[in-house]
Structure formats: C-alpha cells, structure tokens
Amino acid sequence: QNPKTSAIVKQLVAEGNAGELQKYFGSRMEFGTAGLRAAMGAGISHMNDLTIIQTTQGFCRYLEKNFSDLKKRGVVIGFDARAHLPSGGSSKRFARLAANTFISQGVPVYLFSDITPTPFVPYTVTHLKLCAGIMVTASHNPKQDNGYKVYWENGAQIISPHDKGISQAIEENQEPWPQAWDDKLIDSSLLLHDPYATVNKEYFKDIQKQCFHRNINKETNLKFVHTSVHGVGHKFVQLAFKAFDLSPPFAVPEQRDPDPEFPTVKYPNPEEGKGVLTLSFALAEKDGAKIILANDPDADRLAVAEKQESGEWKVFSGNELGALLGWWIFTCWKNHNRDTCAIKDVYMLSSTVSSKILRAIALKEGFHFEETLTGFKWMGNRAKQLMDQGKAVLFAFEEAIGYMCCPAVLDKDGVSAAVITAEMASFLATRNLSLSQQLKAVYDEYGFHITKASYFICHDPKVIQQLFDNLRNFDGKNTYPKSCGRFKVSGIRDLTTGYDSSQPDHKAILPTSKSSQMITFTFANGGVATMRTSGTEPKIKYYSELCAPPGNSDVEQLKKELDELVNALEKHFFQPEKNNL
C-alpha cells in the first residue's frame, strides 16, 4: 500500500523489465543473527513497508511462543535518522509500522519518540526487563541501506537458533494482518509508551559509574573535537561529557545534524580513517584541539585520532584503542578494588579476529581473558552468562572500533566509549602523556602487538567459495597449506568445518558455522592471520597480528616482518589476479 514502492513496481511491469523485477522479487532478504540489512526500495529483497510488516509479524509470533508474559512486559523499538525519498522508506516509518504490528496483538511497545543511539535499545531491554528490542538502523552502511537489528531479553543481540526460528516465523506470516499499514492507530493506544526521557536520565546516571576522575575532568585544558558523521550521536555525546563534568567537545558543524544523504563523506564509516575525518582535522586545527572523537551514524562505534608532536594526526586502529581502553579500565578497577582476591572474578573479552593484547595484560595482571567468535552478539551473550555467575566483565572489544566499556549495555557503545576515552586522555595529560605515548608504554610492559587488517571486494559468491575450497585442498584433497611464501604454517583452525590442528581431537572449541567462511592460520614466527567473509558486505576480510614478548622493542623490524607476511598472504592465499578481486 505504499504508493511509491507500488509505482516503482508498476512501472517495471509496464516496461516489461524482467531483469529488474527478478532483482526485486527473486529472493527474500535473509533474516540472520544480525537481523536484516539491505537497500531500501521495492520488492521482497529490499527494506520497505511490506517487508518490515512481514518481519515484525514473524518476530511477534516467535516471541509469543517464547514468552508467556509478552503482553505484560513488551518490547522496545528505536530508530536512527535514515530515509530514502525514492521509496518513501525511513527508519522512523519502519519503527512505527513495527510498533503497530505488536500493538495490534496487545503487546506493549516502548517506542522512542526521537532518534537514539543503537546502544539505548539493549540498555532499555535490560533496564525495563522487556522481552526484546528492535533497532532500525544500517549503522555505517551506504545511505540507501537500512537494517533491523534484534535483541533478546538478556539485552544482547540474538544468536542461533533464534535467527532460524524468527526466519521461519516470518515465512509463515507473510500476509499483512488487518490494519497492518495504518500506523496512526498507535498514537491513541494505551499500549504505546515513550521511554525517551527515562532512558536519557538513567543511562547517563549508569555510565557515571565509570567516571573515576571528576576533579581532573573539571580542570582539564585538553580540548576535544567530536563528529557524529551526519548521524544520531551529537546530542548524546554532549550529554555524556556533561555527566562526566567535562567541557563539551567542539562539534563539527557540517556533520553535527542528522542527514540521511551523508553529504560530506563518501562512506559514513569512521573505520575508513582519514577521509571521514577531514572536516574534524580542520576544526581541531582551528580550535586548538588535540583529540578527535568520531562516532559512526548510529553511535555504537568510535574512532579516535590524536595530534602528534610532529603536527601529523594519528588515527588509532580499533586494536590500539582496545589496548588503551583495556589498560585504562583495568587500572581504574585496580585502584578502586584493594581486595586482591576479587581479581579472580574479573573478565575481559575480545573477538577472535581482534588483537590478543588483552590476553597479554590478563596473564601479567592475573584476571581472566576469553575470546569469542566475531561480533558483539557473542561477546554480549558471553558477558551476560559470566555476570549471571557473579563475575565482573570490565571490558570487551572488537577491532572494528566497537567497545563495551560499561556493563549496563551488553553491546558496543560509542557514547560511553567516547567519554571514557576523554577522561583517560585528560588523566594522562596531568602526567604529561599523550594517548600515543601511553599506548607505547602498554606495549613496552605487555609486549608489542602489531596488527594489520584489510579486505578484498568480491561480488561473486562462487569465487569466494572456490577461494576457501582451494585453501582446504591446497596440496591435494583435505590438506591445508603448510607454508605461505617463506612463512611456515604451524597451526590451522577452520571455524567453517570445525577443524583445529591444535586440539588433541582436532575439533575446534569455538562454535562453528557452515554458512560463513573463516580460517585462522598460525605461523612459526608468532604471526596469526584470519581470513573470513563478511556477514553484511561483499567483502573477504583478513586480520593479521604479530605478538612479541615484553622486551622485544624493535618495532620497525616487527612491522617489516608483518608487512612481508601480509604480502605473502595476499599473493598466495587470496590470489587477487586469478580471482579477479
């Protein structure tokens, strides 16, 4: 019933454009553990009014099956500022249609009345003890995309088998229920609640538990620039600074207000580094700010840059910021917990493709470190399990600039990470140390961890499959490579097939998934490299790291060795010319 998507389809039919119609209606968007993510537009392969109604109907039925008290507890729905004029789709419209679906079945809905950061949804699930949460966002994807991200009652993103259960329920509930399109009905419903004011107050109260140096924050002369990259982050980072008694950061004016066109950047992804930060650098130079904090458009990630003494800007990698925040959060914990026995219940987590720096810190300091599969769904769920056993999970991170610094949110949170980074920088400034100098001190103490990650773009699933099959049958059937160029392979873990050469029974400990490709190679020189496919983009990614024991301080030599390893990996394992990558 959406006039715009309806007109698009009628036009294609009139033109007899079978190719385009096949693209729109050939296959339904797949609902996975990350929910949905696709371009906005007509047809069942895109995000639009109809596919949102169908998805929510399936999700609603699945929740009814799992929670006898769904009609008492309800769900929360949040949205970002994305909109797509040609198809009339927007995050707010999709959120309202989803709310309408639940309310039509007598389920209370806590629908935010305005845009919020993604972490507010998992926070609300936990805080109000709801059954589930939905966030309508495509995070840092290109402007035409949108997404539908789902949280379970434990406040973490869903993991299997929920994705399969929801997917099946969507298949069984495709015909829109009566009044499914009429989202105006919710405005007069007693089942509609707005959590905006409460959550804004409670969230900022909760993150203050991570504020340890209020006096330094009040006095600091350090200046910060913040950019929300045309997304939702501006207001919330300003409030977080206020909660920590820090002077507000300078906001990049051209990127401060939400704009679904993302006019000043090629990709609205701070992971892309300097290109996204051009305007931030200019403002920092003008206002004399030393540190830049950049959120992605839904404010669940954070990139940080610092001006060096040379006048150059250093953009920290996700692993470097993970090392700094891990060191900082543990140091703050240690200073506030004099009971040395308590450390046996302290945990930190990171994903298997992230730097092992937390493992090195944990070994030396005596707390626990665990690694999980890639993605915060795994870290959030594991953190909740540990917390339920009375453990303290201080910190979790992944190299894709995602940080969980505060146990009130069991997902990555760029708002709390931004303000905690600002407090850390302010504290270090009182010791005349920069973030870069402190990072070197962390590596000096716990051993250098040098990382390098990148990706190849590949739109052909057959080529991807062939590339990984080739690695599994390298020198004849069922044999993995014994070397990569001059580098000898000492271990292999394949989380697609469940093989792990380091285990006595050759079975991997971490969960395996046949639907995604992921192989980790360990090398005799102490290097580790993982190759994996992306769940949300047409990319084959690689992550590499060289870990040196404390005391090996020849960083340039380590970097050179890692560069050579990566070049060999690209040449022999990816074979970009042969595979047209």
Q: List pLDDT tens digits, range 409-439.
A: 999 999 999 999 999 999 999 999 999 999 9
**Quick count: other Cβ atoms within 10 Å of Cβ 213?**
17
| 509: pLDDT strictly greater than 80 | yes
Please give the average per-residue pLDDT across 472-491, as a whole number.
Answer: 95
Q: What is the pLDDT of residues 3-42, one digit of tens each?
A: 999 999 999 999 999 999 999 999 999 998 889 999 999 9
Domain final residue, candidates 314, 338, 367: 314
Q: Are 398 and 376 in contact (CB under 8 A)?
A: yes
Same domain, 366 and 258: no
Q: Are strands 109-111 and 75-79 parallel, antiparallel or unpaired?
A: parallel
| 535: pLDDT strictly greater than 80 | no
List the structure tokens of 460: 């052909």
Please give the average per-residue pLDDT across 182-192, as a whole number.
Answer: 97
Same domain, 109 and 179: yes
pLDDT value of residue 110:
98
Exposure of 538 by Cβ count < 10 A (0-12 exposed, 13-18 middle, 19+ buried)? middle
Q: Position of tokens 């970009």?
A: 576
Task: Name the nearest CA neighbour of 360 among 445, 451, 452.
Answer: 445
Give the percent of the chain with pLDDT over 90. 93
- Active site (catalytic) residues: 139
| 460: pLDDT strictly greater than 80 | yes
Same domain, 414 and 302: no
Same domain, 275 and 370: no
Q: Largest alpha-carbon pair distance within the chain?
A: 75
CATH number of the domain that 501 lies in? Answer: 3.30.310.50
Q: What is the pLDDT of residues 111-167, one digit of tens each?
A: 999 999 999 999 999 999 999 999 999 999 999 999 999 999 999 999 999 999 999
pLDDT value of residue 139:
95
What is the pLDDT confidence band of residue 507, given thresholds at 50, 70 and 90? very high
Structural domain boundaries enclosing 99 = 3-193
Q: Please indicate, yes or no, if residue 198 is contained in any of the structural domains.
A: no
The count of structural domains within the chain is: 4
pLDDT value of residue 34:
86
Please give the average per-residue pLDDT across 100-110, as a whole number.
Answer: 98
What is the pLDDT confidence band of residue 550, given thresholds at 50, 70 and 90? confident
Give me the chain's average pLDDT, please: 96
> Element (H or E) spanning 384, and its range?
helix 376-388
What is the pLDDT confidence band of residue 450, given thresholds at 50, 70 and 90? very high
- Cα–Cα dist 278/320, whole Å: 21
Q: In what order do the strands lie in the sheet with 109-111?
A: 36-39, 145-151, 132-136, 75-79, 109-111, 192-193
